[in-house]
Amino acid sequence: MAKLTLGRLLAIALRVGNMTFGGGDPTMAAFHRELVVRRGWLDPDQYTLAFALARVTPGTNLLAFCAGVGWQLLGWRGALAMVLAPTVPSAVLAVLLTHTAAAWGNKGVISGVFGSLAAAAVGMTAAAAWLLLKPHLKGPNAVRPLALAGGAIALSLGAWLSPVQVLGLAAVAGILWRRQEAE
Amino acid sequence: MNLVLLYLLLLKAVATSFSGLASLPVLRADLVEHHRVLTDAQLSMAVAIGRAGPGPIGLYVVSVGYFAGGLPGAAAGLLALVTPAFLIIPALLCLRRAGSRPELRGAIQGVMFAAAGLLLSTTLPLARHAVTGRLSAALAAASFAALAFTRVDAAWVILGAAAVGLVAGLAG
C-alpha cells in the first residue's frame, strides 16, 4: 500500500475530482473507493463523519466533504489540496466555455447551440428542485416538505420576502414542526 | 461591479444553500433583480455551463462571476464557492455529534424544502427568456424528465441539447 503524501493525495483529488461527472454523490463514492477501499488512508468512520458533516455544512456538500477528508488526512495542507484540486481545473474549463458563450453566443449556429443549452438549463433547474424533494415524499410525512416548498414558492412569487428571509423562516419552521412531531 | 461586493454577494448565495443549484434564487435576486449586473439569459447559460463539465454542480457560480466581472469576477466566484467548505473543519473539531441533533436536522430539512420551492419559482423567469418556441420547450421538458426520472448523466443531457441546437441552427 502506497504511503500517504500530499503529492499522492493531490494526484488522486485531481483525477477523481475532474474526471467524475454527475456532481457530488458520484464523486464522493469515487473518493471512498480510492481513499478507503483501495489505499486504506481513511478509515470508514472518518469517511462517514466527513460525509455526514458535509451535509450540514453551508455551501457545496462535495467541497465541504473534500475539506473534511483532507483535513483528517493531512491537516490544513490536505484540506486545501482536496478543495482546490477538484475545483480549479473545472473552473478554468467553465471560464473558457463562458467566454465562448459571451463572445459567440449571439452569432449564427453558435447562437442556436447556446439557446438550446439555456432551454435545457430550465429543465435541469426544475429537476434539481424535484430531486431535493423526491426522497421525502413517501409516507404520511410528505405533507411537511410539500407545505414548506409550497410556502416558499408563494412567498417568493408574491415578492413578500427575499430568498434569504424565506430560507431563515423555513429553518425555524423546520425546527418547530419537527419538535411537534417528536412531542 | 466592485469585486469585493461581487464576492460577498456570491458568498452569501453559496453560504445560504446546502446543495449545488440551491444558491440560484438568492443569486438571482441579488445580481439580476437588485444590482442588474447579470441577465436571466446569462444566468441560464451559467447553469448549463456549470453542468456541462466535471466538478461540483455549484461551479456555475464561477461562470456567473465571469459574466458579471470578467476574469477577476470568475476568481471571486471560485473563492466564494470554496470558502464555506472550510467551515467543516471547526465542525469536525467541535460538533462531532451535531449532525444527529434533531433540531439541526429539522432546520436543515426546512431550508432544503424551501430551497426546492425557491428553485421552482426561479425557473419561471429563466423560462421566459430561454423557452421561446416548441423546440426549446421540448428541450426543457426532455431535460427535466431525463434528470428527474432517469440516472443519465447531466453531461449527456447538455451534449444532447447542444447537438439539437447545432442541427436546428444548420437546418434553419
Residues of A in contact with B114 (CB under 8 A): 148-149, 151-152, 166-167, 169-170
Asked if A116's CB is within 8 angstroms of B139's CB, the reply is: yes
Collect all residues of chain B within an 8 Å Cβ-Cβ radius of residue A56.
18, 91, 98-99, 104-105, 108
For residue B90, what pLDDT band results from cuts at 50, 70 and 90?
confident
Once rounded to an integer, what is the mean pLDDT over residues B151-162? 78
Question: What is the predicted pLDDT for the residue at A24?
Answer: 67
Give residue A183's pLDDT: 43
pLDDT at A124: 79
Which residues, other chains included, contact A177 with Cβ-Cβ below 8 Å and sequence gap of 6+? A144, A148, B106, B110
- Identify whether the C-beta of residue B78 lies closer than 8 Å to the C-beta of residue A87: yes
Please identify every stretch of chain A with a pLDDT value under 70, giving residue numbers as ranges: 1, 19-26, 105-106, 179-183
Task: State whether residue B68 sits within 8 Å of chain A by CB.
Answer: no
Candidate from A60, A129, A136 with C-beta closest to B56: A60
Q: What is the DSSP string of chain A?
A: -PPP-HHHHHHHHHHHHHH--SSHHHHHHHHIIIIIIIS-SS-HHHHHHHHHHHHTSSS-HHHHHHHHHHHHHHHHHHHHHHHHHHHHHHHHHHHHHHHHHHHHTTSHHHHHHHHHHHHHHHHHHHHHHHHHHGGG-SSGGGHHHHHHHHHHHHHHHTTSS-HHHHHHHHHHHHHHHHHHHH-
Q: Cβ of A59 and B63 within 8 Å?
A: no
Going from the C-alpha of A28 to that of each of A36, A48, B82, B123, the distances in angstroms are: 11, 11, 16, 28
Amino acid identity of residue A82, one-letter, is M
Percent of chain B with pLDDT over 90: 32
Q: How confident is the model at residue B47 (pLDDT cuts 50, 70, 90)?
A: confident
Closest CB to B170 among A79, A109, A124? A109
Kindly determine whether residue B45 and residue A94, on different chains, have CB atoms separated by under 8 Å: no
Residue B17 in contact with partner chain A when CB distance is under 8 A: yes
Kindly indicate whether the ipTM for this predicted assembly is greater than 0.90, answering yes or no: no
Q: Is the pLDDT of residue B99 over 70?
A: no
Interchain contact, A118 vs B96, CB within 8 Å = no
Q: How many CB atoms lie within 10 A of CB B75?
A: 18
- What is the residue-averaged pLDDT of chain A? 82
Cβ separation B57–A23 shorter than 8 A: yes
- Region B118-136: mean pLDDT is 84
In the predicted structure, residue B96 carries a pLDDT above the cut 80: no
Cβ contacts of A95-101, under 8 Å, gap ≥ 24? A95/B62, A95/B63, A95/B66, A95/B71, A95/B74, A97/B49, A97/B52, A97/B53, A97/B63, A98/B45, A98/B46, A98/B49, A98/B62, A98/B63, A98/B66, A98/B67, A98/B74, A99/B66, A101/B45, A101/B49
What's the average model confidence in pLDDT over B35-46?
A: 90
Preferred mutation among A98, A104, A113 to probe B, highest tally of B CBs within 10 A: A98
- Are residues B45 and A101 in contact, defined by beta-carbon separation less than 8 angstroms? yes
Beta carbons of B55 and A18 less than 8 angstroms apart: yes
Residue among B47, B92, B101 at smallest CA distance from A73: B92
A167 CB-near residues (< 8 Å, 6+ apart) = B16, B26, B111, B114, B115, B118
What pLDDT is attached to residue B68? 93
Residue B26: is its pLDDT beyond 80? yes
Alpha-carbon distance of B148 to B143, in angstroms, equals 8
Q: What is the mean pLDDT of chain B?
A: 85
What residues of A are in contact with residue B71 (Cβ under 8 Å)?
Answer: 95
- Inter-chain residue contact B165 with A114, CB threshold 8 Å: yes
Q: What does the pLDDT read at residue A84? A: 94
Output the pLDDT for position A67: 94
Which of B12, B78, B112 has the CB atom closest to A132's CB atom? Answer: B112
Residues of chain A neighbouring B110 (CB-CB closer than 8 A): 148, 170-175, 177
Q: Is A20 buried (19+), middle (13-18) or exposed (0-12) by CB count in 10 A?
A: buried
Neighbours of B34 (CB within 10 A): 11
Residues above pLDDT 70, as percent of chain B: 93
What does pTM read for this prediction?
Answer: 0.74
Q: Is the pLDDT of residue B98 over 60?
A: no
Please tell me the predicted confidence (pLDDT) of residue A23. 62
Residue B172 has pLDDT above 90, yes or no: no
**Nearest-CA distance from A37 to chain B in Å?**
22
Distance from C-alpha of A105 to C-alpha of B42, rounded to nearest angstrom: 10
